[in-house]
Amino acid sequence: MKIYTLKTKQYLPISIEKAWEFLSDPKNLKTITPEYMKFEVVSGADRKMYPGQIIQYIVTPIAGIKNKWVTEITHVKNKEYFVDEQRFGPYSLWHHKHFIKEIPGGVEMEDIIDYKIPLGILGQLIHPMIVKPRLKEVFEYRKKKLIELFGTIETKASNEIIFV
């Protein structure tokens, strides 16, 4: 059983309040997701984020095949972190931690995702060919859109998307 981890950091020149308001609103996910994925929030995003919140989405990640995703917001600490976990969707496991913290000039946004793909050995074979490049593309797009929306902060820390 292989569990993969994806880690990203990005530095935004905005206040922690503004970062939290934007990042914790599921309606903004559409803005920072590639258009070809046709991301749509179906339900559950009509209130401010809270633990136990179920959000349903439709995404079209590969070959025009529509996928329904259901995630639960399991943990929320105001202006510090929140966690979403897949309850129904294409992954066997999807556990996404979103952290933000204040730094000089803005905020550091850190994402840590632990995920597992189905289909056993076959899944492990397709991971480097399909899943990993697609996730990298999605997070690169998000980074670019956030820079367009807010700008960026120069830091010595790495801005890379790391797969473990």
Partner 1 sequence: MEHFSNEFCQIDLYDQYAILTINENVEFSLGRASILRDKLKKHYESKSFIMISHRKFEHKVSPEIYKQGVLDNMKGLAIVSSSDKERDKAILEQPLYGKSFAFFSTLEEAKAWAKSFF
User: Residue 45's Cα: distance from chain center in Å?
Assistant: 16
Residues 21, 105, 137, 163: which binds partner 1 (CB under 8 A)?
Answer: 105
8 Å CB contact between 68 and 88: yes
Closest approach, Cβ 154 to partner 1, in A, equals 4
How far is Cα 36 from Cα 1, in angstroms, rounded to an integer? 31
Closest approach, Cβ 40 to partner 1, in A, equals 25
158 binds partner 1 (CB under 8 A): no
Contacts 24+ apart (CB under 8 A), 92-99: 92/116, 92/117, 92/118, 92/123, 93/3, 98/23, 98/24
Q: Which of residues 13-42 bind partner 1 (CB under 8 A)?
A: 13-15
Nearest CB to partner 1, comparing residues 14 and 73: 14
Span from 71-79, 88-96, 103-111, 133-141 in contact with partner 1 (CB under 8 A)? 103-111
Q: Which of residues 114-153 bind partner 1 (CB under 8 A)?
A: 147-148, 150-153
What one-letter code names the amino acid at 144?
K
Nearest CB to partner 1, comparing residues 18 and 97: 18
Nearest to 49, CA basis, from 85, 82, 14, 19: 82
How far is Cα 105 from Cα 49, in angstroms, rounded to an integer? 26
Residues 106, 112, 146, 161: which binds partner 1 (CB under 8 A)?
Answer: 106
Q: Which residues bind partner 1 (CB under 8 A)?
A: 13-15, 104-106, 147-148, 150-154
